[in-house]
Amino acid sequence: MSVPAREILHETIRNLYFHVCMWMSMMVLFTTSVIYSIKYLRSQNLRDDVFALNFAKIGILFGLLGYTTGAMWAKYTWTEFADASQIFTEPKLTGAAIALLIYFAYLVLRGSLTDIDKRARISAVYNIFAFAMLFPTIWILPRLMESLHPGKGGNPALNFDDLDNRLRIVFYPAIIGWTLLGVWITSLKIRIDLIKEKSLLNG
């Protein structure tokens, strides 16, 4: 499979199938998580809380992998034209770090509450706020500021010069594939939690 030739990027353009897919799957998982949180608040069914928690957990896993791979990619591309101060103040990096920290706080918040119903309710509300912060921190803010990350100054999904069609053929199925992998791991975790809390849910 050939890829478009780009300066600095060279073959690393293939990281699009991995690094970017991590973030796309993370978005899907976090979105599902917040849907279950809203569902919990409507139904007060602890089952929905288990779903929301595990979708958020796997979302964090994918976010961490996306962050690490991004760091690796940046090390061999950005360092060739940008200096350290530019890289350390990169808004996309800072934004993604803030977004992930907000989600870490979600887990910490859950861990700090012992009452099951209170924990489920408070963390569901927190999850909605965390989701509300997700879009500004990783999509909107980096585009408003001077950024090294591709996708600045406009919407890459609507910019047809940005993404070559040869990349799209692999990129779109890869997003679906990675997302399904995430959903599968999540379903395993949900099933474990449901067995663990069987007495709580049915009793």
Partner 1 sequence: MAKKIFLLFACLYLVLPSMLLAQVNDPEKQYTAFDMRHNGKIYVVVSVILIIFTGIILYLIRLDRKITRLEKETK
Contacting residues toward partner 1, per CB under 8 A: 1-3, 9-12, 14-15, 17-19, 21-22, 61, 64-65, 68-69, 72-73, 75-77, 170, 173-174, 176-178, 180-181, 184-185, 188-189, 192, 195-196
Closer residue to partner 1, CB minimum distance, 46 or 170? 170
Closer residue to partner 1, CB minimum distance, 105 or 192? 192
DSSP 61-121: HHHHHHHHHHHHHHHHHGGGTS-HHHHHT-HHHHHHHHHHHHHHHHHHHHHH---HHHHHH
Q: How far is the CB of 59 from partner 1 (least distance, A)?
A: 12
CA distance 112 to 120: 12
In Å, what is the CA distance from 80 to each residue of 68, 76, 86, 174?
19, 7, 12, 28
CA distance 80 to 62: 27
CA distance 186 to 55: 6
Q: How far is the CB of 202 from partner 1 (least distance, A)?
A: 15
Closer residue to partner 1, CB minimum distance, 158 or 202? 202
Closer residue to partner 1, CB minimum distance, 40 or 178? 178
Radius of gyration of the chain (CA): 19
Closer residue to partner 1, CB minimum distance, 102 or 190? 190
Alpha-carbon dihedral of residues 100, 105, 110, 114, nearest 10 degrees?
A: 160
Q: How far is the CB of 136 from partner 1 (least distance, A)?
A: 26
Closer residue to partner 1, CB minimum distance, 108 or 176? 176
Q: How far is the CB of 6 from partner 1 (least distance, A)?
A: 10
Q: How far is the CB of 8 from partner 1 (least distance, A)?
A: 9
Q: How far is the CB of 110 from partner 1 (least distance, A)?
A: 17
